[in-house]
Amino acid sequence: MRRVFVANRGEIAVRVIRACRELGVEVVLGVSEADRDALPARLADRAVCIGPAPSPKSYLRPELLVTAAAATGCDAVHPGYGFLSERAAFARACNEMNLAFIGPSADAIDAMGDKLSAIRLAKQAGVPVVPGSDKLSSLADVQAAAQRVGYPCLMKASAGGGGRGMRIVRAPDELAGAFESAQAEAEAAFGDATVYLEKFIERAKHIEFQIMGDQHGNLVHLFERDCSVQRRHQKLIEEAPSPILPPARRAEMADAALALARAVGYFSAGTVEFVYDAETDEFYFLEMNTRIQVEHPVTEMITGVDLVQEQIRVAAGERLSFRQQDLAIRGHAIECRVNAEDPRHGFRPAPGRLQVWQPPSLPGIRLDTHCYEGYLIPPFYDSMIAKLIAHGEDRQQAIALALGALQGFRVEGITTTMPLHQDILSSHAFRDAEVTTRWLEASFLPEWQQAALAAQEVA
């Protein structure tokens, strides 16, 4: 593999470019008009404009990206995460142009892309699944399913993720409104209004297992991540390993993740996500992400494996560079997603120019970002501007390192979520590992926002 086309932007584009550089591989980057002067464009060997700023006219146009990759003499395409990374049609389009898709097979993406299909495959592989329904096409179907599943239940879109098309239903009189709004949101987001019901677990932890496979049948897991600090089903803080998972349950969940991956002949990087009920010590399959995850750095920090480089090697036909017995958990890592948002005012987007950008330079701290002083954060894309990762000998040290780095991170010109991250890391619930997926919104955030607004008024 001599030249890779990066079909993405922001920090993941920088991450892929640097991995390619370390492997001696050239990089061509596709950029929108808004990203011509961004850091990834400066780092790539060549950048080609793929269209206007809006994603549907640039980063979400598979035919344009594949044509640009072939025209610039690339051997492969790395989709990053988001955008087209989990579109089987994009993987097939790459293959049809003799471009290696740096990810799993299109068939595996198809199998895991539809949640109901993934649940059926998980059942066949012997993986525990949340009690629920098949697809629901009418309100009568929804009412019957809710009676079987019981309340509270969770209405979910079959075709997508990120919390879109998802509604918690606690009583029968909420069903009709939830069904209508979930279908509308799913149709708008994914072009598919199919929804289904699942049992809602009140005190749920979000535990996911990183897997990696090659095209020769070798498949391993790289342990788990705890991603329970969430707002609207979007992760804010991730850590590895989970601070609450018993060793026996870790082994059982890892085996389940590998069983599902084997069932679809999986290769490349992927993540199998589970809901873990801390009260009953039971776990259930949630979904599988057939791409590199935003939070992959915490796994890299505790294992010493460069997941993106391994993806590239696998796409080139190489075998995994390590075996399961070579992997061990080393210390503890925590990642904070730094967003250009104002958490005091409903996480209002805060694009603008970075007048000051002075990240900390401390032992044990890694920063994945595409930002620099003077950079103009555009309003067209996801608001994440950096990922701050702390790696310590144990969880207590990782928390202390993360707090020190956040406190020393100088940013002026925009508002970020870093003050919120500091207070979450300092909270008793987080330090005692009592956080659930509902904790931030239901318990912590209302009081935090009220106190932050009061402090702003005083100032």
Q: CB within 8 A of 377, min separation 6: which ones?
A: 340, 351, 352, 353, 354, 371, 385, 414
Assess whether 250 carries a catalytic annotation. Answer: no
Give the single-character DSSP code of 383: -
What is the rounded distance in angstroms from the CA atom of residue 158 to the CA atom of residue 164?
Answer: 10
Which residue among 92, 167, 291, 313 is the active-site one?
Answer: 291
* Burial (Cβ within 10 Å: 0-12, 13-18, ≥19) of residue 17: buried
Taking the CB of residue 388, how many other CB atoms lie within 10 A of it? 24
* Burial (Cβ within 10 Å: 0-12, 13-18, ≥19) of residue 75: middle
What Cα–Cα distance (Å) separates residue 318 from each residue in 23, 216, 231, 265? Answer: 13, 8, 39, 16
Extract the tokens encoding 245.
Answer: 């998972």
Q: CB within 8 A of 41, min separation 6: which ones?
A: 29, 31, 35, 47
What three-state secondary structure class fits 362?
A: coil
Extract the tokens encoding 188.
Answer: 């708008």
Extract the tokens encoding 370.
Answer: 């595409």
What is the rounded distance in angstroms from the CA atom of residue 173 to the CA atom of residue 149?
Answer: 16
* Element containing residue 49 per DSSP (H, E): strand 46-51
**Backbone dihedral angles phi then psi of residue 415, each to the nearest 5 degrees:** -100, 140
What is the rounded distance in angstroms from the CA atom of residue 438 to the CA atom of residue 72?
Answer: 47
Taking the CB of residue 363, how many other CB atoms lie within 10 A of it? 7
What is the rounded distance in angstroms from the CA atom of residue 87 to the CA atom of residue 85?
Answer: 6
Give catalytic residue positions.
Answer: 291
